[in-house]
Structure 1
Amino acid sequence: MEELAAASGLSKSAIEEAEASQVFANAGVTDRLRSIFESKGVLFLGAGEDDAGAGPGLRLRQQFHDEGIRPQNLNAANDD
Protein backbone atom coordinates (compact mmCIF):
# COMPACT_ATOMS: atom_id res chain seq x y z
CA MET A 1 0.00 0.00 0.00
CA GLU A 2 2.84 2.39 0.82
CA GLU A 3 4.41 1.84 -2.61
CA LEU A 4 1.12 2.55 -4.38
CA ALA A 5 0.52 5.65 -2.27
CA ALA A 6 4.02 6.96 -3.02
CA ALA A 7 3.78 6.22 -6.77
CA SER A 8 0.33 7.77 -7.15
CA GLY A 9 0.71 10.68 -4.75
CA LEU A 10 -2.50 9.59 -3.03
CA SER A 11 -3.00 9.03 0.67
CA LYS A 12 -3.46 5.50 1.98
CA SER A 13 -6.96 6.45 3.11
CA ALA A 14 -7.89 7.60 -0.41
CA ILE A 15 -6.69 4.28 -1.82
CA GLU A 16 -8.55 2.30 0.85
CA GLU A 17 -11.70 4.29 0.12
CA ALA A 18 -11.37 3.53 -3.61
CA GLU A 19 -10.86 -0.19 -2.85
CA ALA A 20 -13.96 -0.32 -0.65
CA SER A 21 -16.21 1.64 -2.99
CA GLN A 22 -18.77 -0.11 -5.17
CA VAL A 23 -19.05 2.97 -7.39
CA PHE A 24 -16.03 5.18 -8.07
CA ALA A 25 -17.18 8.70 -7.35
CA ASN A 26 -13.79 10.40 -7.54
CA ALA A 27 -12.56 10.16 -11.13
CA GLY A 28 -9.25 11.80 -10.22
CA VAL A 29 -8.39 9.02 -7.79
CA THR A 30 -9.39 6.23 -10.16
CA ASP A 31 -7.54 7.85 -13.07
CA ARG A 32 -4.35 8.07 -11.01
CA LEU A 33 -4.63 4.48 -9.83
CA ARG A 34 -5.38 3.21 -13.34
CA SER A 35 -2.39 5.10 -14.71
CA ILE A 36 -0.07 3.56 -12.12
CA PHE A 37 -1.36 0.04 -12.75
CA GLU A 38 -1.13 0.46 -16.53
CA SER A 39 2.48 1.63 -16.20
CA LYS A 40 3.19 -1.64 -14.35
CA GLY A 41 1.69 -3.80 -17.14
CA VAL A 42 -1.95 -4.17 -16.11
CA LEU A 43 -4.51 -3.96 -18.93
CA PHE A 44 -8.07 -2.95 -18.09
CA LEU A 45 -10.63 -4.79 -20.24
CA GLY A 46 -14.17 -3.72 -20.95
CA ALA A 47 -16.97 -6.16 -21.66
CA GLY A 48 -16.08 -8.45 -24.56
CA GLU A 49 -12.48 -7.20 -24.92
CA ASP A 50 -10.84 -10.49 -23.98
CA ASP A 51 -10.47 -13.68 -26.00
CA ALA A 52 -13.34 -15.44 -24.24
CA GLY A 53 -15.83 -12.59 -24.70
CA ALA A 54 -16.31 -12.37 -20.94
CA GLY A 55 -17.14 -9.31 -18.90
CA PRO A 56 -14.81 -6.54 -17.79
CA GLY A 57 -11.62 -7.46 -16.00
CA LEU A 58 -7.86 -7.23 -15.87
CA ARG A 59 -5.02 -8.87 -17.74
CA LEU A 60 -1.26 -8.57 -17.48
CA ARG A 61 0.43 -7.22 -20.58
CA GLN A 62 2.59 -9.83 -22.27
CA GLN A 63 6.22 -8.89 -22.18
CA PHE A 64 8.17 -9.15 -25.41
CA HIS A 65 11.75 -10.20 -24.93
CA ASP A 66 13.99 -10.32 -27.97
CA GLU A 67 16.01 -13.45 -27.37
CA GLY A 68 17.88 -13.15 -30.65
CA ILE A 69 18.24 -16.05 -33.04
CA ARG A 70 17.61 -19.49 -31.61
CA PRO A 71 20.56 -21.90 -31.97
CA GLN A 72 18.69 -24.20 -34.34
CA ASN A 73 18.18 -21.24 -36.70
CA LEU A 74 21.82 -20.13 -36.86
CA ASN A 75 23.42 -20.42 -40.28
CA ALA A 76 25.81 -18.57 -42.59
CA ALA A 77 22.96 -16.39 -43.96
CA ASN A 78 22.35 -14.70 -40.60
CA ASP A 79 26.00 -14.60 -39.46
CA ASP A 80 27.03 -10.97 -38.86
Structure 2
Amino acid sequence: MLGLTVETLASESKLPVSTIEALETGDGSADMRALATVRSVLENHGVLFLAGGSDGVGGPGIRFKQWSENDGIRPENLNATNDD
Protein backbone atom coordinates (compact mmCIF):
# COMPACT_ATOMS: atom_id res chain seq x y z
CA MET A 1 0.00 0.00 0.00
CA LEU A 2 2.82 2.41 0.84
CA GLY A 3 5.56 0.76 -1.17
CA LEU A 4 7.87 0.50 1.85
CA THR A 5 10.46 -2.25 1.82
CA VAL A 6 11.08 -4.43 4.85
CA GLU A 7 14.45 -2.77 5.18
CA THR A 8 12.94 0.74 5.13
CA LEU A 9 10.32 -0.19 7.72
CA ALA A 10 13.01 -1.79 9.89
CA SER A 11 15.19 1.31 9.61
CA GLU A 12 12.36 3.74 10.41
CA SER A 13 11.13 1.65 13.34
CA LYS A 14 14.67 0.89 14.58
CA LEU A 15 13.75 -2.80 14.69
CA PRO A 16 15.63 -5.73 13.14
CA VAL A 17 14.48 -6.95 9.73
CA SER A 18 13.75 -10.32 11.35
CA THR A 19 11.21 -8.67 13.68
CA ILE A 20 9.43 -6.99 10.75
CA GLU A 21 9.34 -10.31 8.92
CA ALA A 22 7.92 -12.02 12.01
CA LEU A 23 5.15 -9.40 12.16
CA GLU A 24 4.39 -9.95 8.47
CA THR A 25 4.12 -13.71 8.79
CA GLY A 26 2.30 -13.59 12.11
CA ASP A 27 4.46 -16.34 13.56
CA GLY A 28 3.92 -15.05 17.10
CA SER A 29 7.57 -14.29 17.86
CA ALA A 30 7.13 -10.48 17.74
CA ASP A 31 6.15 -8.67 20.91
CA MET A 32 3.45 -6.05 21.38
CA ARG A 33 6.03 -3.27 21.72
CA ALA A 34 7.38 -4.06 18.25
CA LEU A 35 3.85 -4.13 16.86
CA ALA A 36 3.07 -0.74 18.40
CA THR A 37 6.32 0.69 17.02
CA VAL A 38 5.55 -0.47 13.48
CA ARG A 39 1.99 0.80 13.78
CA SER A 40 3.32 4.22 14.77
CA VAL A 41 5.63 4.32 11.73
CA LEU A 42 2.76 3.37 9.43
CA GLU A 43 0.51 6.01 11.00
CA ASN A 44 3.26 8.59 10.38
CA HIS A 45 3.06 7.58 6.71
CA GLY A 46 -0.67 8.34 6.67
CA VAL A 47 -2.21 4.94 7.42
CA LEU A 48 -5.33 4.85 9.58
CA PHE A 49 -6.13 1.63 11.44
CA LEU A 50 -9.83 0.73 11.62
CA ALA A 51 -11.34 -1.35 14.38
CA GLY A 52 -14.07 -3.87 13.66
CA GLY A 53 -17.45 -2.30 14.26
CA SER A 54 -20.09 -3.90 16.41
CA ASP A 55 -22.83 -2.72 14.04
CA GLY A 56 -22.04 -5.40 11.48
CA VAL A 57 -20.79 -2.95 8.85
CA GLY A 58 -17.24 -3.55 7.71
CA GLY A 59 -14.54 -4.94 9.87
CA PRO A 60 -11.02 -4.24 10.97
CA GLY A 61 -8.69 -2.87 8.33
CA ILE A 62 -6.60 0.05 7.18
CA ARG A 63 -6.96 3.04 4.87
CA PHE A 64 -5.14 6.25 4.12
CA LYS A 65 -5.97 9.18 6.43
CA GLN A 66 -6.21 11.54 3.48
CA TRP A 67 -7.41 10.68 0.00
CA SER A 68 -6.94 12.92 -2.99
CA GLU A 69 -8.98 12.56 -6.16
CA ASN A 70 -5.65 12.20 -7.97
CA ASP A 71 -4.77 9.10 -5.93
CA GLY A 72 -6.77 6.77 -8.17
CA ILE A 73 -9.71 4.57 -7.29
CA ARG A 74 -10.89 4.76 -3.70
CA PRO A 75 -10.54 1.39 -1.92
CA GLU A 76 -14.29 1.01 -1.41
CA ASN A 77 -14.77 1.28 -5.17
CA LEU A 78 -12.31 -1.46 -6.11
CA ASN A 79 -13.76 -4.57 -7.70
CA ALA A 80 -12.59 -7.49 -9.84
CA THR A 81 -12.68 -5.42 -13.05
CA ASN A 82 -10.64 -2.44 -11.80
CA ASP A 83 -8.35 -3.97 -9.17
CA ASP A 84 -4.96 -3.96 -10.92
TM range (shorter): 0.5 to 0.7
Deviation at 1:2, TM superposition (A): 1.2
For the pair shown, the structure with the greater C-alpha radius of gyration is 1
Per-residue CA deviation, residues 20-54 of structure 1 (Å, 9 max, x unaligned), is: 116585111100000000000000000129xx920
Question: Which of 34, 58, 62 is the aligned partner of 1:58?
Answer: 62
Q: Is the 8 A contact 2:22 2:29 kept in 1?
A: no
Matched positions, count = 62
Q: Identify unmatched segments of 5+ residues in structure 2.
A: 1-5, 69-84
| Percent of residue pairs bearing the same amino acid type | 39
1:18 aligned partner: 23
Q: Is the 8 A contact 2:53 2:59 kept in 1?
A: yes
Runs of 4 or more above 2 Å deviation:
22-25
In 2, Cα distance between equivalents of 1:48 and 1:56: 7
Q: Identify unmatched segments of 5+ residues in structure 1.
A: 65-80
